[in-house]
Amino acid sequence: MRVKDDLRRGLSLFWAFFRVGAFTFGGGYAMLPLLEAEVVTAKGWAGRDEVMDDYALAQSLPGVIAVNTSLLLGYRLAGVFGAVMAGLGVILPSILVITGVAVFFAKFMENPVVARVFQGVRAGVVGLIFVAALRFAKGSILNVWHLLIAGIALAVATFTNLHILVLLLFGGLAGWFIPRGTEHGYVDPTGGGDKL
């Protein structure tokens, strides 16, 4: 019975993250609105703050943000098996699409219609990243101190060549000394929303 429940949870995570991976264009930053819609709104598996915390942690780790985030959330929701299934779900669409594109890449890129389509996709990705940034800011900037940290990080990242790791360490240290503004806990994945 337990094996059957674990398999059901794993498949549920796989398909949820497969949908996120299949419709995320533009990388990890563009995935945040889709991830929030799938995991928080549609399934009720995690709270918005939990997703934001895992997303922020995923950005500070080496590797692909989308994969890191799926592994963290999958592990939190269903242990190691959940992490594996969520990770496979989020990368499989990319593997399938990249394999298909690689076979026909030269022909695709020579077509002027396809080139224009890719230009439109890139422009749309800018909008998705902007929405992700707004949502991330809304859940992260909770007081004037957080706004100050965000402003300093933006200015330093824009006008210097300082490594991003230094900014992350600065933000982490500053966050250690500055009150968060609100307390929150993680949502029990078995209570409320769709069951895993």
Burial 152-161 (b: 16+ CB within 10 A, else e): ebeeeeeeee
State pLDDT tens for residues 21-70. Answer: 887 766 666 777 888 888 888 888 888 888 888 888 887 777 788 888 88
Say yes or no to pLDDT of 184 above 50: no
Delimit the domains of the chain by residue range.
2-105
Q: pLDDT: is 162 or 5 the higher one?
A: 162
CA distances from 72 to 17, 53, 151, 184 (A): 12, 10, 28, 18
Separation between Cα atoms, residue 140 and residue 24, nearest integer Å: 22
Residue-level pLDDT at 123: 84
Whole-structure pTM value? 0.58
Mean pLDDT of the chain: 79
State pLDDT tens for residues 130-163. Answer: 887 887 788 778 888 888 888 998 899 899 998 8
pLDDT average, residue stretch 115-131 = 82
Q: Let me know how long the chain is.
A: 196
